[in-house]
């Protein structure tokens, strides 16, 4: 049993003010593998005070020196990548090969991305050639409360922590209590990299306790949260009294529009993308919209692909998906699969219950529904599991209407060999991101959504800007 009952505050590991133990469960065995403490409002007060005290000096630290520490962080992150992979597999159930390549790799990608962006970032720049004595100054927001989820831990922690550090902000991180071991290891890496005391602080806790104390704290200038839309709404309300900036990365219900002229791998690719990380990704293409001419062929292909996806022990190497994160999530997914059946969708792969060969663990069958209509529950709600809904459409206009008929707007996908149509549809779907024909977004591209998918942009220069205030100065004295 791993015991991690301390918090990282002001450059040291300290005991909680009021010990409150919480077990960390391995979702593949349903057994406790670690014990952590959940922080209280007093612990948050201590961490925020440390961040507030450290802010003036960190703000005034030259950007090149802040960047040098981030570069050191990358070195220690890479050196301890196997520990990080094992921590994520143990607590949130990502298969170990995926943890090594994708989960750890996401953190590597974003740290490198911020290093590249920071090298060319002008914190003080002229307004324009016509205003030689005006300067636009980008300065740090201040003390930031960072709340990260369990599904892509290093992806989200690096997107927030590294951007805030480059910008000159100090911070308090509250990771998900479902996946705290990787975050505590990350705190060790920040310490090893040499970040000054108080710049980075970590307090474990749940949303109702530590999360509420952090997001409403009067000395926190900004909250950056990734998680459910429900929690994002609650955080916005709690933060409103202090008028702090709130940056939200929330849920999604992405549409994958497959036109009749899509490439032959489009359906297979869509199923694989949906099932990755056991469907626990906010940008998953969970609604597959298929043009009527190829609809039955696509349904058959999607079912066949889902039936080929192996479900297995996350601690074993190989290409398979693992369990979902906990019992509550497993039961929610089971209820929604049953709801799809009850509402008349055609089940063509998977279904309720544990996959064959399992009698414990939070494993879900890769599931595909056909003949879904966009008013069904499985087409409206974010399931956050390996469940794909296939919806037929006839015209381009109908596909766009179905795509936009959702409260979410994170990522949509387009599959067509007609370049003009691809561009046209990409401009009409309402989402923060669009990916076409299997081509993912490039290095430095922002991650973020519209509507109830949130309001922030993470990654590269856009992510740094989210942690900066803009100051306009007139009458600047030129040297």
Active centre residues (catalytic): 249, 282
Specify burial of residue 230 (Cβ count, 10 A radius: 0-12, 13-18, 19+): exposed
- By C-alpha distance, which of 80, 22, 155, 99 is closest to 317? 99
Q: Both tokens of residue 51? A: 């961040």
Q: Both tokens of residue 226? A: 């990734």
CA–CA separation, 367 and 140 (whole Å): 45
Q: Both tokens of residue 242? A: 């202090």
- Whether 32 and 25 have beta carbons less than 8 Å apart is answered as yes
Specify burial of residue 284 (Cβ count, 10 A radius: 0-12, 13-18, 19+): buried
- By C-alpha distance, which of 212, 199, 392, 203 is closest to 287? 392
Edge to edge, what strands does the sheet with 222-226 contain? 12-14, 7-9, 200-202, 170-174, 143-147, 222-226, 245-249
- Whether 1 and 35 have beta carbons less than 8 Å apart is answered as yes
**Cross-strand partners of 473:** 135
CA–CA separation, 140 and 437 (whole Å): 38
């Amino acid at each position: 049993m791993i015991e991690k009952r301390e918090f990282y505050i002001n450059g040291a590991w300290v005991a909680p003010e009021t010990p409150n133990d919480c077990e960390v469960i391995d979702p593949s065995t349903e057994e406790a593998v670690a014990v952590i403490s959940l922080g209280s409002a007093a612990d948050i007060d201590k961490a925020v005070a440390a961040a507030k005290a450290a802010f003036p000096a960190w703000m005034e630290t030259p950007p090149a020196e802040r960047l040098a520490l981030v570069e050191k962080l990358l070195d220690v992150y890479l050196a301890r990548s196997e520990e990080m992979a094992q921590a994520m597999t143990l607590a949130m159930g990502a298969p170990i090969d995926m943890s090594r390549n994708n989960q750890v790799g996401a953190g590597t990608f974003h740290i490198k991305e911020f290093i590249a962006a920071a090298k060319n970032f002008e914190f003080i720049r002229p307004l324009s050639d016509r205003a030689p004595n005006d300067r636009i100054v980008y300065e740090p927001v201040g003390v930031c409360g960072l709340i990260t989820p369990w599904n892509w831990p290093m992806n989200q922690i690096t997107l927030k922590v590294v951007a805030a550090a480059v910008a000159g902000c100090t911070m308090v991180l509250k990771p998900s209590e479902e996946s705290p071991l990787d975050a505590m290891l990350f705190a060790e890496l920040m310490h090893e990299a040499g970040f000054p005391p108080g710049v980075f602080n970590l307090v474990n806790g749940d949303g109702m306790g530590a999360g509420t104390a952090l997001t409403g704290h009067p000395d926190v200038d900004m909250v950056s949260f990734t998680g459910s839309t429900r929690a994002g709404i609650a955080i916005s309300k709690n933060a409103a009294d202090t008028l702090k900036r709130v940056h939200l990365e929330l849920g999604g219900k992405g549409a994958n529009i497959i036109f009749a002229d899509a490439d032959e791998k489009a359906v297979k690719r869509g199923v694989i993308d949906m099932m990755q990380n056991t469907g626990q990704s906010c940008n998953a293409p969970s609604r597959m919209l298929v043009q009527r001419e190829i609809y039955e062929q696509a349904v058959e292909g999607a079912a066949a692909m889902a039936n080929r996806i192996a479900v297995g022990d996350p601690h074993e190497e190989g290409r398979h998906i693992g369990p979902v994160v906990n019992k509550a999530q497993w039961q929610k997914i089971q209820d929604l699969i049953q709801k799809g059946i009850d509402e008349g969708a055609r089940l063509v792969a998977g279904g309720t219950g544990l996959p064959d060969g399992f009698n414990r663990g939070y494993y879900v069958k890769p599931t595909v529904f056909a003949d879904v209509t966009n008013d069904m529950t499985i087409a409206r709600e974010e399931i956050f599991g390996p469940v794909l809904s296939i919806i037929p459409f006839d015209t381009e206009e109908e596909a766009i209407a179905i795509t936009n008929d959702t409260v979410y707007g994170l990522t949509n996908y387009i599959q067509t060999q007609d370049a003009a149509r691809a561009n046209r549809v990409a401009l009409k779907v309402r989402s923060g991101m669009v990916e076409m024909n299997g081509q993912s977004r490039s290095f430095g591209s922002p991650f973020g959504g519209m509507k109830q998918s949130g309001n922030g942009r993470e990654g590269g220069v856009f992510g740094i800007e989210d942690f900066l205030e803009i100051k306009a100065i007139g009458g600047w004295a030129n040297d």
